[in-house]
Amino acid sequence: MAYNKPLPNTKGVSEIYWKGLKEKKFLIPHCNECNEMFFYPRVVCPHCGGTNIEFQDHNGKGEIYSYSIVEKSFIQGFEKEVPYTVALVQLEGGKARMMTNIIECEPEKVEIGMPVEIHFQDVTDEIALPHFKPMKGGR
Amino acid sequence: MSFFKDVAIAGVAESELGNVPHMNSVDLMAQASVRALQEAGLKKEDVDGLFSSSAHYSMPTVTLAEYMGITPKYMDATSIGGASFVSHVAHAAQAIVSGMCEVALIAYGSTQRTDGGGLANITESNPFEDPFGYNDPITAYSLAAQRHMFEFGTTRDQLSEVAVATRKWASMNEKAFKRDLITHDDVKNSTLISTPLTKLDCCLVSDGGAALVLTTRERAEKLNTKPTYIWGYGESTTHRSISNMPSLVHTAAIESGKSAYQMAGVGPEDIQVAELYDAFSINVILFLEDLGFCKKGEGGRFISNGNIAPGGKLPVNTNGGGLSYCHPGMYGLFTIIEAVRQLRGESGERQVDNCNLALAHGNGGVLSSEVTMVLSNETKS
Ligand SMILES: [Zn+2]
């Protein structure tokens, strides 16, 4: 069956990020002026206003900053997948946080502070999504 | 920042509320507008400043001007979500004092319930959130609630107490959509949507409109109603999408509140009634903390002592709030309407005794934009 959940618009400044995911690379924008990372990709650094920005390889590790188990979903394609976990993951090594789904973990076992690592989830021929799963062996 | 001294609120009104399938959003705006003008003793011909925001119309002041046959000299359709209308009142004050207009009409209307119950929204996609099945906006507030519980030990029962206390107030408001009292168990056991929030932690989905008339203090004092004065105002924002909220347990209400108190020359201890935009139960806990009614992290404990319910130390959401009175999608203006009625002494059974200083707080987006207004029935010395 064709993938019927919402898909991201991958054009523009973020194209490199989305292409990276498809090649199992986790490319996060890094500001060379304040030496800090951020997310989502932009042409101006939200920390210092700098414009010298490059994508850097990230190790895909982080920890759960907060989460919610969706028990009733209003989102196309997700209605029958409840319960599932929506989380905000704080990426290791800097000031970048992103929304994701936590996979390979029973929703009731998800905790704030739990170490997680990226799982490149192929969903279409063009797109892979950054899902996260509990880090092997914990911290 | 003395310009607020020279303006006053002369009229406030709601349209028909609740289930209004025979009207469109602009009908509700216009109906509320006529009622607010009537209350003040003004006509639409007197209106020369028009303020609105909408999830239904891309040019809401233009749409309303055409509908009502008003040719304004000044318009502002600032859009910062549900907080917009509180900001419009402040922006109207600046326009009046600078001579751009004299009678400002701030109007809102939405048929969110009739339109099918989803949050009316001019579509705005987010490639970094949409693919993950995030229920916008409920899951955003759930993420904040979960983090608050983690950091401060806030409990399920404390979230429930917000809904329970608010319903007690609603039971005394004949305009409220839901008036039957509820228990903590009712809230906890209602449909779980996105943990930890259940259906009864979430605002209503209703139809409704609201309007407010602001004019010069001089003119207001000659009109039909007891004028309400603006003592202080503040606004700020920390993020647009929940992924980008710097701390899920600190909102821009810290900034907006600080500005409002500073301008008013008062503090949280002076406020006698607080109308806080309760899109979800967690909002009230966050805003009580961020507006200084209790310390950070103590919001849950503060409300569990019955402090915000009828008879409590700080009456909160005395109209029944977005949780029980009405919530057509952008609730902001209703916070001021109830504050004005409390200050005039018009709130009947739910009237707070000796109420002279009120706070109205609007919230927009996903805890994104915050606006705070301090109001009084007395002129500021
Ligand atoms: Zn920078």
DSSP B44-104: GGG--EEEE--SS-SSHHHHHHHHHT---SEEE---BTBTHHHHHHHHHHHHHHTTS-SEE
Cα gap A30→A52, rounded to integer Å:
9
Tell me the CATH number for domain B4-117+206-220: 3.40.47.10
The chain A residue lying nearest B150, using CA atoms, is A112
Binary contact (B134, A86; C-beta < 8 A): yes
The chain A residue lying nearest B141, using CA atoms, is A68
Cα gap B205→B299, rounded to integer Å:
26
Provide, as residue numbers in chain A, all residues whose Cβ is less than 8 Å from the Cβ of B127: 8-10, 14, 40
Give the per-residue pLDDT at A1.
67
Size of chain A, expressed as the number of residues it contains: 139
Residue B106 near chain A (CB below 8 Å): no
For range A46-51, the mean pLDDT: 98
Give the per-residue pLDDT at B115.
86
- ipTM for the whole complex: 0.97
| Residue of A63, A67, A73, A74 to mutate for B, most B C-beta atoms under 10 A | A74
How many Cβ atoms sit within 10 Å of the Cβ of residue A12? 11
How many Cβ atoms sit within 10 Å of the Cβ of residue A57? 11
Low-confidence ranges of chain B (pLDDT < 70): 1-3, 117-123
Give the per-residue pLDDT at B356.
98
Ligand 1 centre distance from Cα of residue B238 (Å): 18
Strands B229-237 and B273-276: unpaired
- The dihedral through the CA atoms of B43, B48, B54, B60 has a sign that is positive
CATH 3.90.1170.50 fits B130-205+229-376, yes or no: no
Q: Residue B6 has which token pair?
A: 């020279």
Q: Is B41 exposed, middle or buried (0-12, 13-18, 19+ CB in 10 A)?
A: middle
Binary contact (A78, B133; C-beta < 8 A): yes
Least CB–CB distance from A6: residue in B131, B143, B191: B131
**Interacting residues of B248 by C-beta distance below 8 A, sequence separation 6+:** A65, A66, A88, B143, B144, B147, B148, B242, B367
Give the per-residue pLDDT at B2.
60
Give the per-residue pLDDT at B305.
82
Q: Rounded mean pLDDT of chain B? A: 96
Percent of chain A exceeding pLDDT 90 equals 96
Contact status, residue A112 vs residue A82, Cβ threshold 8 Å = no
Give the per-residue pLDDT at B117.
61
User: Could you please report the per-residue DSSP string of B140-167?
Assistant: HHHHHHHHHHHHH---HHHHHHHHHHHH
Q: Residue B271 has which token pair?
A: 């406020």
Least CB–CB distance from A99: residue in B129, B135, B147: B129
How many Cβ atoms sit within 10 Å of the Cβ of residue B151? 15
Provide CATH 3.40.47.10 ranges for chain B: 4-117+206-220, 130-205+229-376
Ligand 1 centre distance from Cα of residue A25 (Å): 22
Contact status, residue A103 vs residue B132, Cβ threshold 8 Å = no
| Residue of B195, B197, B238 to mutate for A, most A C-beta atoms under 10 A | B195
Backbone angles phi, psi at A54, to 5 degrees: -135, 155
For range A121-138, the mean pLDDT: 93
Binary contact (B118, A66; C-beta < 8 A): no
